[in-house]
Amino acid sequence: MAQVNETERHQLSSQKFFTVQDAADYLRISKRSMYRLIQRGEIITVKIMSRMTRITLDELLKLAHSKGYEVIIPKESISRQDAETGSVNKLAKCRKTPKAGEIAPDGVTHDTHYTMAEVLSTFDIKYGRFYEVRNRYQLQSVHAWGTTCFKKEDVERVIGLYNEEQGKNISDDWYTCFDIMKLYGLGKTQVRRFAETHGVRIRKFKGGRANYYLKADWEAARKKAEKSSTSTKAKRK
C-alpha cells in the first residue's frame, strides 16, 4: 500500500477516488477478491487516513486493462467522488443556514413565549390534556427554536379557564381523597384500598396527579359495606 507525501497528495488531488467496495462493484468482482489483488500488489491503493483506503480511477483502469475486466462507472458516482476528494463544484452556492434552535420569528423571545416542553413542565400538564385545551380555546401557536411555541399570557389565560371549568364540574360529582378522609375519618391508603375493592370509579384531573373518586359510586359502596359490616349489625341488635 502506497504512503503519500505532501507533493504526491497534491498531484493526486485532481484524480477520481473510489472505495474498495466501489472499485470491486465497478469491476464486478467481490470485495474479498479486490483485497486479494491489493495484497498481491496487483493494484496500488492510497491511504488517505488511518481507516480510509482509496483506489484511483487510473489504477482501476490499469488493472482492468491488464486483467480484461470491464469497468462500468455511473456518472453520478464520479460526481460524488469529486465532492469527496475536495474538488470544487463551481455550480454550488455557499450559504450559511442557521440551526433550527436559533431561529425565531420577530417578536418571539423566551420572555414572551413558552416552548411546548416548558408548558408541560411549568403547568404540570400532560400532552394529551394540553392538546384538548388548545383545541377548546383555539390557542394560537408559532414555530420557533425548532419546536412549537405559545404566547405566555395566552397559555396562562386558557389553562386558568380550563382549571376553573374543571373545578366546577369536579366538585359536583367527585370527591378528592382529602374530602373522603375528612368525611369518613379514613387514611389515604384506606381510601385507595376501599375504592379498589368496591370498584369505585377513579379519574385524574388537572395534569393527572391527584385521584378523584365518583361520589355516586363511593356512597353506594359505603352503604353496601355498612349493611354487611359486623359492627353495624351488632349496633342494630
Q: What is the CATH number of the domain that holds 22?
A: 1.10.1660
Q: In this structure, are 69 and 126 located in the same domain? A: no
Tell me what pLDDT residue 206 has. Answer: 55
Q: In this structure, are 29 and 140 located in the same domain? A: no
Tell me what pLDDT residue 85 has. Answer: 45
Number of domains in the chain: 2
Q: Which residue has the higher pLDDT, 210 or 127?
A: 127
Structural domain boundaries, residue 63 = 6-84
Average pLDDT over every residue of 59-78: 67
Query: pTM for this one?
Result: 0.36
Q: In this structure, are 107 and 204 located in the same domain? A: yes
Name residue, grid cell 454550488: 92
Whether the per-residue pLDDT at 7 is higher than 60: the answer is no
Give pLDDT tens digits for 175-224. 888 889 988 898 989 999 999 999 998 877 655 567 888 888 899 999 88
Please give the single-letter amino acid code of residue 61: L
Q: In this structure, are 194 and 131 located in the same domain? A: yes
d(CA 20, CA 34): 7
233 occurs within a structural domain: no
13 occurs within a structural domain: yes
Q: 54, 84, 114: which is the final residue of a domain?
A: 84
Q: In this structure, are 108 and 197 located in the same domain? A: yes
142 occurs within a structural domain: yes
Q: Where are the alpha helices (DSSP H) in the chain?
A: 6-12, 20-27, 31-39, 57-67, 75-84, 116-122, 127-137, 152-173, 177-184, 188-198, 215-228, 230-236
**Spatial contact of 130 and 155, defined as CB atoms under 8 Å apart:** no
Q: In this structure, are 104 and 193 located in the same domain? A: yes
Q: Within a 13 Å sphere around the CA of 176, how many CA atoms are in the beta-carbon half?
A: 12
30 occurs within a structural domain: yes
Q: In this structure, are 184 and 80 located in the same domain? A: no
Tell me what pLDDT residue 35 has. Answer: 86
Tell me what pLDDT residue 232 has. Answer: 45
Q: In this structure, are 140 and 182 located in the same domain? A: yes
**Spatial contact of 232 and 226, defined as CB atoms under 8 Å apart:** yes
d(CA 236, CA 152): 61
Q: In this structure, are 54 and 111 located in the same domain? A: no
Q: In this structure, are 108 and 210 located in the same domain? A: yes
Percent of the chain, pLDDT > 90?
Answer: 15
Q: 84, 119, 152: which is the final residue of a domain?
A: 84
Q: In this structure, are 103 and 194 located in the same domain? A: yes
Question: Out of 69-78, 101-110, 210-219, which region has the weakest mean confidence (pLDDT)?
Answer: 69-78
227 occurs within a structural domain: no
Q: Which three cell numbers stand for residue 155?
A: 397559555
Q: In this structure, are 61 and 124 located in the same domain? A: no
93 occurs within a structural domain: no
91 occurs within a structural domain: no
229 occurs within a structural domain: no
